[in-house]
Amino acid sequence: MSIKNYFCIVPFSSIKVNPDGTYRACCLHDSIKKPDGSYYHINNDSLMDVWESEYYKKLRNDFLNNKEVKECGQCWDIESSNIKSFRLGGLSRFKDFHQTLVEENFKVQKPVCFELAMGNLCNLKCRICKPDNSSMFAGEESIYKNCKIEDTRAYQNLKNSTQSLNRKFWDQDFFLNALEINFAGGEPLLLKNHEILLKKLIKKNKSKNITLWYHTNATRIPSPSLLKLWNEFKLIKLSLSVDDVGDRFEYQRYPAKWQEVKKNVLYFLNLPLKNRIFVRLDATISIFNVFYMVDLINYVKMVNKNKNLNELIFGYHFLTGKSLFNIRTLHPKEKNKIKYKLEKYTKLNHVITEIINYMNKEDWWSRDIERLRKNKIKTADQQRSESFIKTFPEMVEILNF
């Protein structure tokens, strides 16, 4: 019997900042606490404080001892469905760095990857998102919780992140070792302050070694000043959060407009950064779009017919965890109906098989989840004058909505 290798490069390579200013090792872990129970926060604690924390030391040791770290359950789960996990993605992205670590007997260096979700400032309130990650939810949250706007999480996070967007954070020398910097949000193309860091990296002659990776909702294009800075970097990667097409896209990513986003996708593919731009459509698979995934794959194929543009890569990940919109929470009968449709298209893209595997691997359905999901959809429909029933007629039938 082969022994699984649980090693993950994350605690040797990366630090992540959350929209509320706390730190994490990776997007699947919880925020990092100090021994006294309080959280590390960018207003009080530097990147170095976190990198040298007991938490990071323990995580590194656990991986060196090939422990199956409990907090990493989502990676083991995804891998057991034969899907590439964050762990495996990191190992392939940082293959050379991994090799150096091995040669140097895992002597800890400075991080080479920074994942910066610097605040929840956003112009959308997507159905699968939450107030922690988008300031746009403040109005709906205050109605739902019957509280003042100032007391909502959406507002509080925005306030904290505004404080945290200070020059002191961006100016840390710890960034000079970077090979990759990820910007998320909120919406990172609204984050003018991150240009402070880009200018510093250019000034210190580091930019040509660094990949910048933006996780954007594709409703904004870069300003001329940002474009000029991008020109100085090794590679610009853009992950576009586009999960569906037409009216269904607009419903899921309110109040984005499909026509505008389609135009922006072409703009990104046409950027004059020859061989230095990588554009990926990055769909989050949820109960809203799972039935319609074929339409999105066909949209990507259609875009790629124009050989004068850079290629649009099709990427995806699952809405994981206990979200009401995770496809594992569908009733087994509903899953069967979706499987019946998708199975006809398994040759179109490997994602179809992976969706079926992920969806059916565990049954998370319960009457409570179904009731809460219906309520959540209906409440947001009322607030936004939208209609799940009209926008997703096939899913309404499947869900008996």
Please choose, from the candidates 284, 270, 175, the residue with its C-alpha nearest in 3D space to the C-alpha of residue 239: 284
Q: Which two tokens stand for residue 186?
A: 């909120």
Q: Which two tokens stand for residue 325?
A: 């919109």
Residue in 23, 86, 213, 392 binding ligand SF4, rule: CB under 6 A: 86
Residue in 15, 17, 28, 121 binding ligand SF4, rule: CB under 6 A: 28
Q: Which residues pair with 331 in a beta bridge?
A: none
| Shortest Cβ 106–ligand SF4 spacing (Å) | 15
Dihedral angle computed from the Cα positions of residues 212, 213, 214 and 218, in that order, rounded to the nearest 10 degrees? 110
Crossing angle of helices 293-303/258-269, nearest 10°? 40
The span of 70-78, 131-139, 182-190, 210-218 binding ligand SF4 (CB under 6 A) equals 70-78
Binding string, 87-106, against ligand SF4, x = CB under 6 A?
x--x----------------
The span of 67-75, 174-182, 184-192, 290-298 binding ligand SF4 (CB under 6 A) equals 67-75
| 212 near ligand SF4 (CB under 6 A) | no
| Shortest Cβ 184–ligand SF4 spacing (Å) | 15
Size of the site for ligand SF4 (CB under 6 A): 14
| 83 near ligand SF4 (CB under 6 A) | no
- Establish how many alpha carbons lie within 13 A of residue 233's alpha carbon, considering only the half-sphere containing its beta carbon: 24
The span of 23-31, 159-167, 226-234, 315-323 binding ligand SF4 (CB under 6 A) equals 23-31
| Shortest Cβ 72–ligand SF4 spacing (Å) | 3
The CA distance from 207 to 187, in Å, is 23
| 24 near ligand SF4 (CB under 6 A) | no
| Shortest Cβ 13–ligand SF4 spacing (Å) | 10
Nearer to ligand SF4, 19 or 222 (CB): 19
- In the complex, residue closest to ligand SF4 by CB: 72
| 10 near ligand SF4 (CB under 6 A) | yes
The CA distance from 212 to 210, in Å, is 6
Please choose, from the candidates 12, 64, 54, the residue with its C-alpha nearest in 3D space to the C-alpha of residue 32: 54
The single residue listed with the structure tokens 């706390």 is 22
Collapsing DSSP to helix, strand or coil, 108 comes out as coil
Residues 6+ apart with CB under 8 A from 215: 182, 183, 184, 185, 188, 239, 241, 282
Nearer to ligand SF4, 99 or 382 (CB): 99
| 15 near ligand SF4 (CB under 6 A) | no
Collapsing DSSP to helix, strand or coil, 27 comes out as coil
| Shortest Cβ 5–ligand SF4 spacing (Å) | 11
Nearer to ligand SF4, 58 or 344 (CB): 58
The CA distance from 187 to 37, in Å, is 30
| Shortest Cβ 206–ligand SF4 spacing (Å) | 25
Q: Which two tokens stand for residue 52?
A: 């040298």
Nearer to ligand SF4, 72 or 359 (CB): 72
Residues 6+ apart with CB under 8 A from 347: none
The CA distance from 190 to 162, in Å, is 12
Footprint on this chain of ligand SF4 (rule: CB under 6 A)? 8, 10, 25-26, 28-29, 69, 72, 74-75, 85-87, 90
